[in-house]
Structure 1
Amino acid sequence: MQSASSIEEINAKIKAESAFVEKLRQEISKVVIGQEYVINRLLIGLLTNGHVLLEGVPGLAKTLTVSTLAKAINLKFQRMQFTPDLLPADLIGTLIYNQKDMKFYTKKGPIFANIILADEINRSPAKVQSALLEGMQERQVTIGEETFKLDDPFLVLATQNPVEQEGTYPLPEAQVDRFMMKLMVDYPTREEELEIMRRMARTEKKESVSACITREEILRARAVLNDVYMDEKVEKYIVDIVFATREPEKYGLNGLKTLIAYGASPRATIYLNLAAKAHAFLNHRGYSTPEDVKTIAYDVLRHRIIPTYEAEAQDVKTEDLVRQILNSVNVP
């Protein structure tokens, strides 16, 4: 248990270090209209070094939001369009033989950047999707016999179309679990749509984003994130939520036992903790609350709970399962 004075000190420190957040949001809003939920979650991913998967129908500014965020921060950005004929070497690089001196040379691929936009990631076959795995988990890439460390920060922000759409391949569970959050991008409101039309229905675009945040500021914010205070009761609340996905009957959720094939992995516990702290940081607070956990729980859990065939037959979505769990687990 931390003293009131030490929490006040942490609060003051977090307020000072999180001052850049409003400046960053303001810069992004020059180009992106609305999408506050998506922008907040992308910032959480950036602060916690967690990869983010965005799902939504085409035309909802998923690509625009990610590229605008990268431009607003002075980081190296690469956009990769995933297609059915893409090869792993197109992503990570390959060895090229030079006949003149009879040696192999490494040609690095686009993965060697700070922010990777993997656009329509589920339009490529599994071998290409799995090529991302080493980079996402180990922050390194192996080409031939050599292993190369990736730059810090390194963040994969992937967009995908709904699986029901034609020409899509479902992502392997092992890869999906590497994404800290899965975001469901929805249509804009009437007011936002009106503003989008007024601003974008032009033959030339005037709005542009300039880099207002440095790499050093992001790395410093990441270091400060570790100081955000989380009470033991909130930590136990996180563990209870994750265990309720695995053993629902112990939390009075007997009806979910036949609907959940596999519960969330320990990565969910780690990411719920980190994302709750980052959510507090974005709100200029030096302590995290159960409300922070509940706010980001859907994004961290929706791709980690595997429903049974029975759940699919009853048209029960993972969103519904998470909602029932959050409503049943006691809040401290």
Structure 2
Amino acid sequence: MENAQVQVKSFEEEGKLITSLRAEINKVIIGQEYMVDRIIMGLLTGGHILLEGIPGLAKSLTANTVAETIGIGFKRIQFTPDLLPADILGTEIYNQKTGEFVIKKGPIFTNILLADEINRAPAKVQSALLEAMQENQVTIGDVTYRLDKPFLVIATQNPIEQQGTYPLPEAQQDRFMLKLKIEYPKREEEKQIIERFSKDRVNEPPLRKILSHDTIMQLRNLIDEVYVHENIKNYVLDIIFMTREKNIYIACGASPRASISLIKASKCKAFMEGRNFVIPDDVKSVVYDVLRHRILLSYEAEAEDITSEDLITQILEKVNLP
């Protein structure tokens, strides 16, 4: 019993770090708690994040702000149609003085990489990034380099202005643990945004660094210890397998990667709430973010304007709670 009490106390104490992290981020970001929490979740689980929303909703600013509050590397790539894989991964450069090739590493060699407007780059560039995300390594010439941990990709894409873009195929979207749909801020929040960002912010003090590299890795180990009851595991499997059942609106259901992501996200949600065990509400709170990009809609669904969110809602209504 004493060990259990110590463990719970540890979870509660470490959870205070997340509260401090949120407070520091809120010095810059107004509202958007959902996006902030999910980015933190990606950082603590090693799961990459895909942000979808119209321009001007603070997607890039939020990613940059999170990086500022953490003592790890951060780089940003603006994806464009003329981008090459070498611009991301790096390349070999011939040194005329030594007569040898030297490696110039690309911006992917960092801890947090912001891939801005990923759907602006051609498929070859997208594939190079997604392969590195999956394998956590990059090959330049004949040499393979492991990427540092933690390594998190936060990709943004614009759902409008699709002319001249290269939308991510569903199979490649599956590499992202979460896909977030970012909405407009509330009226009162936007009023605060106007008041804060219409002033000169040059003299504002820099953000404090709340988490370090070692702290993040310690938190990841702690999240691994979050308890998941067999009933919760079966609940997750019931949801996933129902996406694979015959349904005129679903062309292809969620992969096993979805099951893993749903468990990992649920464990992190429990940790961020100060608990060392997962409850059904943890699963329900993250299931839309885990599954919305993993359910391939049929022509019938598109014709009847049925979204993946609609189907997830129907599945949750059918699956029995543990």
> Shorter chain as normaliser: what TM range?
over 0.9
Distance 1:111 1:75, change over 3 A: same
1:125-144 to 2 correspondence within 5 Å?
125-144=122-141
Find 1:156's aligned residue among 153, 156, 177.
153
Structure 1 distance, partners of 2:84, 2:50, is 21
Find 2:283's aligned residue among 293, 300, 307.
293
Distance 1:7 1:328, change over 3 A: farther
CA shift digits 1:226-255 (9 cap, x unpaired): 11111110010000000000015xxxxxxx
1:9 Cα shift? 4.2
User: Matched residue of 1:229: which SS?
Assistant: coil
1:142 Cα shift? 0.5
Q: Is the 1:126–1:172 contact (alpha carbons within 8 Å) kept by the matching residues of 2?
A: no
Find 2:142's aligned residue among 140, 145, 155.
145
User: Matched residue of 1:95: which SS?
Assistant: strand
Find 1:35's aligned residue among 32, 56, 81.
32
1:203 Cα shift? 4.3
User: Matched residue of 1:86: which SS?
Assistant: coil
Aligned position for 1:92 = 89
Distance 1:267 1:311, change over 3 A: same
Distance 1:179 1:269, change over 3 A: same
Aligned position for 1:224 = 222
Structure 2 distance, partners of 1:311, 1:11, is 45
Q: Is the 2:170–2:296 contact (alpha carbons within 8 Å) kept by the matching residues of 1?
A: no
Q: Give ranges in structure 1 of 5+ residues lacking alignment.
A: 249-256
Q: Which amino acid aligns with 2:120?
A: R
Structure 2 distance, partners of 1:141, 1:176, is 20
Q: Does 1:112 align with 2:109?
A: yes
Distance 1:194 1:259, change over 3 A: same
1:172-191 to 2 correspondence within 5 Å?
172-191=169-188
Structure 1 distance, partners of 2:221, 2:201, is 41
1:38 Cα shift? 0.5
Structure 2 distance, partners of 1:205, 1:288, is 43
User: Matched residue of 1:179: which SS?
Assistant: coil
1:201 Cα shift? 1.2
Task: Please give the root-mean-square deviation of Cα atoms over the aligned residues, in Å.
Answer: 1.4
Structure 2 distance, partners of 1:205, 1:311, is 50
Aligned position for 1:260 = 250
TM-score, normalisation: structure 2: 0.97
Structure 1 distance, partners of 2:26, 2:165, is 31
Q: Does 1:306 align with 2:296?
A: yes
1:103 Cα shift? 1.0
Q: Give ranges in structure 2 of 5+ residues lacking alignment.
A: none
User: Matched residue of 2:177: which SS?
Assistant: strand
Aligned position for 1:243 = 241
Give the percent of matched residue pairs that are identical in Structure 1 and Structure 2.
Answer: 55
Q: Is the 1:77–1:116 contact (alpha carbons within 8 Å) kept by the matching residues of 2?
A: yes
Q: Which amino acid aligns with 1:165?
A: Q
Structure 1 distance, partners of 2:285, 2:169, is 26
Structure 1 distance, partners of 2:105, 2:186, is 42
CA shift digits 1:64-92 (9 cap, x unpaired): 00000001000100000001111110000
- Report which stretch shifted further, 11-20 or 39-48: 11-20
TM-score, normalisation: structure 1: 0.94
CA shift digits 1:80-118 (9 cap, x unpaired): 000111111000000001122221110000000000000
Distance 1:84 1:288, change over 3 A: same
Q: Which amino acid aligns with 2:143?
A: E
Q: Does 1:73 align with 2:37?
A: no
Aligned position for 1:276 = 266
- Report which stretch shifted further, 167-176 or 269-278: 167-176
